[in-house]
Structure 1
Amino acid sequence: MTRAHAFPDRRTAGLHLGEQLSGRAWHDPLVLGLARGGVVVAHGVAAALGAPLDVAVARKIGAPGRPEFGVGAVTAHGEATYDTRTLRALGLSVDDLRETCEAERAEARRRERVYLGGREREPRAGRDVVLVDDGLATGVTARAAAHAIHEDRPRSLVFAAPVCAPESAVALKADVDEVVCLLAPDDLRAIGEWYVDFEQTSDDEVVELLGSELS
């Protein structure tokens, strides 16, 4: 697998992922895009499944002095999820990250308020839920989002992404019913390397996509 297979952009990747998932029998499906970039991919998946689109928000908890290095993740509500092996390797405890965790939880709540815009989120109970992101690297944010979704008692939960780190995809199977990846390259270093256009998705774009799908 080489970068010659890269996706032009998130929208195109979402169309391909939707094609992969559309041949199944789904029970009252709901597609959740993991904000921000996952919402762009999820839009195409929702269209392919004829399902409503909604948003899931999870924020990475970075290591002290290395915010880009995720050691955990947190959603707007519920307990944070940590990679215990990474914490041990770095000599960190949950208490060491409490302040960072609460700051990220506050940001998750802010984003959720912005994205929902005062409406109620789509019900998840008893439905086949597809959680979509633009890629799976360490998997820590996907795990946190999955834990929060399970609290709403979906009938099933499938995680889907255009490109995944193979070891993370295997590990995530402990938290969801199935992991679907179009590409699983052994040499994945950064998700953005597998897209021609990987510009950051804005809050406004997320709101626009959710509104176009739900209007």
Structure 2
Amino acid sequence: MTIDKEANRINYRLRSTFFYRKLKEYNTLSFSAKIDALLPVKQLYIWDDRANWGIGEDAFTYVSNHSNLELIQVFCHPKLIREHSILLAYYRNIAALSQKAVNYLVGINLKKLETDEQNQFPLAEDKAFVLSRLFNEHISLIIDSSIESLTEKELYGILLASTGTQIDGSWRNAIGEEAEKLYSDSLLKKQKSSNFLPLLSHVQVQLLNYTIQII
């Protein structure tokens, strides 16, 4: 096996484990349970100001009449994200927006807020309004573009697809960090030898200089 081929093989292994770690770190798979836990108190969230929150009326009517969709499952309520800022990531992903896109469009950095399990960093009312409006405008567009046929499974699909895009972006930013982990990776420790060191060095150089193409 050539050094280039072995370097790419190691790169793809690192990428696979990186994706898994990030999926757990982002808590994507726990969002459904968090939303379900709020359903018993869904009546506390009033939608009279939905037009101001960027919710299209046709999209709202469609979700309201859907047998398998709940309003708080689809649309972002400003009161809800102030009480549960951890769910900002859920609505952002349902809207198919990256953290970078949100920061660019409305100037709000969500990185710290989306990992705030204990609500230690209160979301200001004006920011909750701006974020809700942004998310709901995009979510309404998605529902309208589906010709009002969006299903619960498709909603989950959007969540996973958007998360995958975010993880891929994080991977591209963290290639150098992953290269450093080659030294401590248990798989590679077994291969430490005088013959392996040139390969290790070659992989690091390739990763750090972004010369390996990620497919």
Report if TM-score (shorter chain) is over 0.5: no
TM-score range, shorter chain: under 0.3
Flag the structure with higher helix content: 2
Output the TM-score relative to the length of structure 1: 0.24
Flag the structure with higher strand content: 1
Output the TM-score relative to the length of structure 2: 0.24
